[in-house]
Structure 1
Amino acid sequence: MTHTRDALVLVDLQKAFFDEEGLAERQTAIVDASNRLIDAAHSADLPIYVIPTEHSRDESTWTLNMLEAGTGFLFQGDEGTQIVPGLKTTDTTKVEKTRDSAFFGTDLNMRFVNKRISRIILAGVSTHGCVAQ
């Protein structure tokens, strides 16, 4: 019998996403709920992945929409790309993405295979658009 396990995946919990209308006033509640999930995952000895979006200024990681508009965002090192204040990231694994899907152009799937992760608990901001696999 193959041993499989679960993992917690937290997507786009970054400062810039809370600039959006409707999210700014929910930031504390979202961070608190995410921290409860993190605490539960730690208690269950589950791996935790924090997945931020970060782009290069040289346009090499920009999406087609960004290229067409001639403007990028979420640049590496900018304040907006930082993890939202208060999120417990100790003993988590950070995997940066440059596309909506956390599985496109990252090694996330390989990490899941190597750890025999077969199921994920997904939370964060805009998660409905961040998994395409």
Structure 2
Amino acid sequence: MATKTSEKCALVVVDMQNDYCDAAGVYPRNALQCFDMESVVAATAKAVTTCKERGIPVIYLRMAWNTDASGFPVDAGLIMEKSRPFVRAEGLRRGTWGVEVVDGLPPPDYVVDKTRYSGFHNTSLEALLRGLRVETIYLAGVITNMCVEATARDAFHRDFRFVVMSDCVSGFSRKLHDASLETMQIFGTVKQSDELLRGN
């Protein structure tokens, strides 16, 4: 399903943060490296610039947890039961370098912090999109089969159309990444960013 030129769109970049994407981040340091990040960041930066030039709002989502006095993330919920053990000790803590967006991406128009995989869960994202009169969301970011797909599914359930920019997403597993893209094509659209933005 192609987007209509009359539809109001927004670009939502999911969790392209140091702890996920930079070599010094907590996930890469624990052998969980997103593949092709150099090209993914470059393609995403180009998409962000193009959208801003064309008046398409750009929203960055960030995973950011609050911590107690011991440093444990108190608002991460069941993610802590299923997450990698190292996340119990460090990573994605509010106010740290790891939670910040990676270098190489231009400043967004808006930033929305979240504590779950989906960008819609207990955040202001839906209200922001409604206020901007957005009908279609362009999606970029990491992890394809986790936070990107969770956000895409929740967008669909809230009657937002979505298009995943396939060259602007990455994950820890190419197999799971590919399966996720195939799954999301069932209820959304998957396109290369150049193809998507060429006519807008």
Partner of 2:53 in structure 1? 43
Q: How far off is 1:119 after superposition? A: 0.4
Q: Name stretches of at least 5 consecutive residues in structure 1 with no aligned partner.
A: none
Partner of 2:75 in structure 1? 61
Work out which of the residue numbers 52, 68, 74 in structure 1 matches 2:92: 74
Partner of 1:113 in structure 2? 130
What are the superposed Cα offsets for residues 12-67 of structure 1, whole Å, 9 maximum, x if unpaired?
100111225442x6222111011111011012200000001000112431121315
Query: Which one scores higher on RCO, CA 8 angstroms, separation ≥ 6?
Result: 1
In the aligned structure 2, how far is the partner of 1:127 from the partner of 1:22?
A: 13
Distance 1:71 1:21, change over 3 A: closer
Q: Kindly tell me the number of residue pairs found equivalent between the two proteins.
A: 129
In the aligned structure 2, how far is the partner of 1:76 from the partner of 1:48?
A: 21
The two structures have a TM-score, normalised by structure 2, of 0.58
In the aligned structure 1, how far is the partner of 2:8 from the partner of 2:92?
A: 32
State whether structure 2 residue 121 is matched by structure 1 residue 104: yes
Distance 1:128 1:117, change over 3 A: farther
Q: State the 4+ residue runs in structure 1 displaced beyond 3 angstroms.
A: 67-70
Q: How far off is 1:97 after superposition? A: 0.6
The two structures have a TM-score, normalised by structure 1, of 0.85
Q: CA RMSD in A?
A: 2.2
% identity of equivalent residues: 26
Higher helix fraction (1 or 2): 2
Q: How far off is 1:127 after superposition? A: 3.8
Larger radius of gyration: 2
In the aligned structure 1, how far is the partner of 2:138 from the partner of 2:145?
A: 13
In the aligned structure 1, how far is the partner of 2:32 from the partner of 2:132?
A: 37
Do the aligned residues in 1 keep the contact of 2:63 with 2:115 (CA within 8 Å)?
yes
Work out which of the residue numbers 10, 23, 43 in structure 2 matches 1:7: 10
